Amino acid sequence: MDKLEQITEQIRQNFDTQTAARDQALTQARILTRHCSLAIRAVHREETDLMQNHLVEAGKLAASLVTDLESFPNLFHTGYTQDALKEYAEAQITCALILNKPLPSPEEIHVIHATYLKGLSEVVGELRRRCLDILRKGYSDEAERLLKSMDDIFAVLVTMDYPDAITNGLRRQTDIARSIIERTRGDMTFSLRGEHLTQAIAGLSRQLLAGEVLPEDLREATFLLDEDEKPDDE
- CATH code, domain with 74: 1.20.58.2140
Q: Does 216 reside within a domain? A: no
Q: Does 80 reside within a domain? A: yes
Greater confidence (188 vs 81) lies with 81
Q: Does 225 reside within a domain? A: no
Nearest-angstrom CA–CA distance, 106 and 87: 13
Greater confidence (221 vs 172) lies with 172
Q: Is the pLDDT of residue 130 over 80?
A: yes
Q: What band does 146 get if pLDDT is binned at 50, 70 and 90?
A: very high
Q: Does 123 reside within a domain? A: yes
Q: Does 133 reside within a domain? A: yes
The total domain count for the chain is 1
pTM beyond 0.85, yes or no: no
Q: Residue type for 186, please?
A: G
Mean pLDDT across the chain: 85
Return the sign of the alpha-carbon dihedral for residues 42, 47, 48, 49.
negative
Nearest-angstrom CA–CA distance, 76 and 25: 9
Domain range holding 148?
Answer: 10-197
Q: Does 182 reside within a domain? A: yes
CA atoms within 13 A on the CB side of 165: 0
Q: Does 210 reside within a domain? A: no
Q: Does 212 reside within a domain? A: no
Greater confidence (75 vs 5) lies with 75
Greater confidence (170 vs 188) lies with 170
Q: Check if the beta carbon of residue 95 is closer than 8 Å to that of residue 44.
A: no
